Amino acid sequence: MKVIISGGGTGGHIYPAIAIANELKAIDPATEILFVGAEGKMEMEKVPRAGYTIVGLPVVGIKRELTLANLGFPIKLGRSLLRAWQIVRTFQPDAAVGVGGYASGPLLLAASLKGIPTLIQEQNSYAGLTNKVLARWAKRICVAYPGMEQFFPADKLKLTGNPVRSDIQLADQQIEAGRLLFGLEASRPTLLIIGGSQGARTINESIETGLQRFVDAGVQVVWQTGPAFSERAKAAVAAVGSPLIKAYDFIYDMDKAYAVADVVVSRAGALSVSELCLVGRPAILVPFPAAAEDHQTKNAMSLVEHNAALLVNDRAAREELITSALNLLSNPTQQHQLRTQIKTLAKPNAARDIAEEVIKLTK
């Protein structure tokens, strides 16, 4: 079997794609998989690191506001469609999978026009523009949330949850390895801060101003800042001068990071929410307010309404986030309640279920 998997732009698209690929290979090691991404985007580095071949398209996104940058969009889209057509003709896949992001549009359109069955995986509670357009041609649409009939034909939908890397599901086995990796003490509470693969400015600035409060409370902090905030974070850590605060621009060993966390502060991207459910960690979610149709707030509320997470509004984070984190870290009863509830929302078989749907398409 030969499968093309296309999409990317953020870790929220890339890592589910890799999880699907890994599951297809686990079912049948002879399966050939080719990734198609957007040139210059993070998938061009992350996918080869996971052991897969990827080719890039020159596609870019269209800006929603009037800007000169949109003038080049039709040209790059046309070039991308032509390149996608060539990729499909050369690779001759049995099925094509789109996970959202710029590159999945031209690739899945080209595959559909050549009569190749396609599957869309939508991670969020509010469907992305690319997936809404591609739904017309897709044979199957795998979703993570109920009620997605408002975006997609009901007869094409399958509720699977979001695929998560298998190592994340084994996080509880990595506690000692995680403490060794990050240089942590077993006797101290640990806060993990993740703003998504690119970081989160509001979260970073909120944490930056209160590092001394964590030190004074004896809390260890593992802080993924994203590349744009990395130097500023390192300067803030140096100013505090405590070995309790660890800042990283990117954390590759997320299974170990989750393993050591007593509490997690995170954006509410679909992948982060799915991972938190699987690892069962008490979480404070700070939804990104500029996400399309405020879908991160909807993602977060799917946990909050089940008493499975806490929410701090982005505009209130600078005043409330550190206090909320310290309060939760000092409240083992509330941690236990959140840990218990969030685990009930996990869908650990999502990657396998989606892989099996892909296989069905090839029959």
165 labeled binding residue: yes
Rounded Cα–Cα distance for residues 140 and 356 (Å): 11
Contact (CB, 8 A) for 16 and 163 = yes
Mean pLDDT of the 41-54 span:
92
121 labeled binding residue: no
274 labeled binding residue: yes
51 labeled binding residue: no
pLDDT at 70 over 60: no
Which pairs count as long-range contacts for 56-65, CB under 8 Å and 24+ apart, including other chains?
Answer: 56/103, 57/83, 57/84, 57/102, 57/103, 57/106, 57/107, 58/83, 59/102, 59/103, 59/105, 59/106, 60/102, 61/9, 61/102
Q: What pLDDT does residue 128 have?
A: 81
Q: What pLDDT does residue 73 have?
A: 61
Coil/strand/helix, residue 88: helix
pLDDT at 35 over 70: yes
Which tens digit of pLDDT belongs to each residue from 161-197?
A: 999 888 898 899 999 999 999 999 999 999 999 986 6
Mean pLDDT of the 333-337 span:
98
Contact (CB, 8 A) for 40 and 132 = no
pLDDT at 332 over 90: yes
pLDDT at 69 over 80: no
115 labeled binding residue: no
Which tens digit of pLDDT belongs to each residue from 245-258?
A: 999 999 989 999 99
Rounded Cα–Cα distance for residues 176 and 120 (Å): 38
Neighbouring residues of 51: CB distance < 8 A, sequence distance ≥ 6: none
270 labeled binding residue: yes
Number of Cβ within a 10 Å radius of residue 248 = 16
275 labeled binding residue: yes
Query: What global pTM score does this model have?
Result: 0.84
197 labeled binding residue: yes
Q: Could you give the angle at the alpha carbon of 335 between the alpha carbons of 330 and 340, nearest 5°?
A: 170
Q: What pLDDT does residue 67 have?
A: 64
The more confidently predicted of residues 76 and 1 is 1
pLDDT band for position 206 (50/70/90)?
A: very high
pLDDT band for position 335 (50/70/90)?
A: very high
272 labeled binding residue: yes
Counting Cβ atoms within 10 Å, is residue 313 exposed (0-12), middle (13-18) or buried (19+)? middle
Rounded Cα–Cα distance for residues 126 and 346 (Å): 19
Which tens digit of pLDDT belongs to each residue from 309-327?
A: 999 999 999 999 999 999 9
11 labeled binding residue: yes
124 labeled binding residue: yes
Mean pLDDT of the 292-303 span:
88
188 labeled binding residue: no
| Domains along the chain with CATH numbers | 2-162+348-362 (3.40.50.2000), 167-343 (3.40.50.2000)
Number of Cβ within a 10 Å radius of residue 29 = 7
208 labeled binding residue: no
Q: What pLDDT does residue 165 have?
A: 82
pLDDT at 71 over 80: no
Coil/strand/helix, residue 319: helix
136 labeled binding residue: no
Give me the phi and psi of 67, to 5 degrees please.
-155, 155
Average pLDDT of the chain?
92
Contact (CB, 8 A) for 124 and 151 = no
pLDDT at 68 over 80: no
Which tens digit of pLDDT belongs to each residue from 74-116?
A: 677 788 899 999 999 999 999 999 998 878 999 999 999 999 9
Q: What pLDDT does residue 60 have?
A: 63
Contact (CB, 8 A) for 161 and 191 = no
Q: What pLDDT does residue 229 have?
A: 94
